[in-house]
Structure 1
Amino acid sequence: MVSINNKQFSMKRIDIKVKQNTTQIWKISNKDNMMGEIHPFHIHGVQFRLLSVNGNTPASNMQGRKDTIMTRPGNQYKIMIKFTQPGFFMYHCHNLEHEETGMMGQIQVVP
């Protein structure tokens, strides 16, 4: 079973609600202790900047705008994100088998 924040995807649930044009700092952790898998974390409709990996400055090739980052087991990533368009967006693991079995969530961006 795969999940994000201990929840499997549900079309009936909004997991995150954000105000349009506000800058947010998110912490993303890969707590996959069972399989030791890398999860490519992807967000629809926006690009973000990787601020840190385990509290350290990311490598130079990771400092540009991203829409996906590879999250390694046991690591914590801090990203800065700003949704400029209102609407509904998805975030998920970009491993097809994981997103198909519920490793994703919904964001609602409100004006």
Structure 2
Amino acid sequence: REGLTFPAMPMDGGQPNYFTINGRAYPSTDTIRMKVGETLKVRFIGTNNGFIHPMHIHGGPFEIVARDGETVPESARFLADTVNVGPGQRYDVVWQARRPGKWLIHCHIGHHTTNNNVEEKGGGGLMVVIDVQP
């Protein structure tokens, strides 16, 4: 098939293979618009589908501020650029817009950023664009 970019990974029952953020797969996800210096709180929630999603944000590290509904004490917080979100897990992270540009939030598993194993407009699935203006 034209446009096929990754080997097909059959899902249970032969269902289409789509991963979503807020119920949408990229490029239908909403672009987040920010200005330099603003902060963004992101809640990563792992669904019970058996996958671990290494979620990554471009444009600088984020701080993990809560895990599974429990606030991480200030003394235990750390900066990361990727967090592995397993089934049933939840991470709250805070990311600061450090410089202008278009930055991605995405999963680091290749077929999780395609739609039924096909890229649309440069990706798919678990991807969101952050558009940071000066």
Q: With structure 2 as the length reference, what TM-score do the two structures score?
A: 0.69
Aligned partner (choices 97, 104, 107) of residue 127 of structure 2? 104
Aligned partner (choices 62, 69, 80) of residue 48 of structure 1? 62
Match of residue 65 from structure 1:
79
Aligned partner (choices 12, 30, 33) of residue 17 of structure 1? 33
TM superposition shift of 1:13: 6.4
Work out whether 1:8 is the aligned partner of 2:25: yes
Distance in 2, Cα, partners of 1:55 & 1:105: 23
Does structure 2 retain, via aligned residues, the 8 Å contact 1:14–1:108?
no
Q: How many pairs were matched up?
A: 106
Q: 1:52 to 1:13 in 2, by over 3 A?
A: closer
TM superposition shift of 1:37: 0.9
Match of residue 87 from structure 1:
101
The sequence identity of aligned pairs, in percent, is 31
Uncovered stretches (5+) of structure 1, i.e. residues with no partner: none
Distance in 2, Cα, partners of 1:39 & 1:29: 9
Distance in 1, Cα, partners of 2:103 & 2:39: 16
Distance in 2, Cα, partners of 1:105 & 1:24: 13
Does structure 2 retain, via aligned residues, the 8 Å contact 1:51–1:57?
yes
Larger radius of gyration: 2
Does structure 1 retain, via aligned residues, the 8 Å contact 2:50–2:87?
yes
Q: With structure 1 as the length reference, what TM-score do the two structures score?
A: 0.81
What's the secondary structure of 1:98's corresponding residue? helix
* Runs of 4 or more consecutive aligned structure 1 residues displaced over 3 Å after TM superposition: none
Distance in 2, Cα, partners of 1:100 & 1:43: 17
Distance in 1, Cα, partners of 2:56 & 2:42: 13
Q: Which moved more, 1:37-46 or 1:49-58?
A: 49-58
Distance in 1, Cα, partners of 2:59 & 2:105: 9
Q: Over aligned residues, Cα RMSD in angstroms? A: 2.2
Distance in 2, Cα, partners of 1:64 & 1:13: 28
What's the secondary structure of 2:70's corresponding residue? coil
Structure with greater proportional strand content = 1
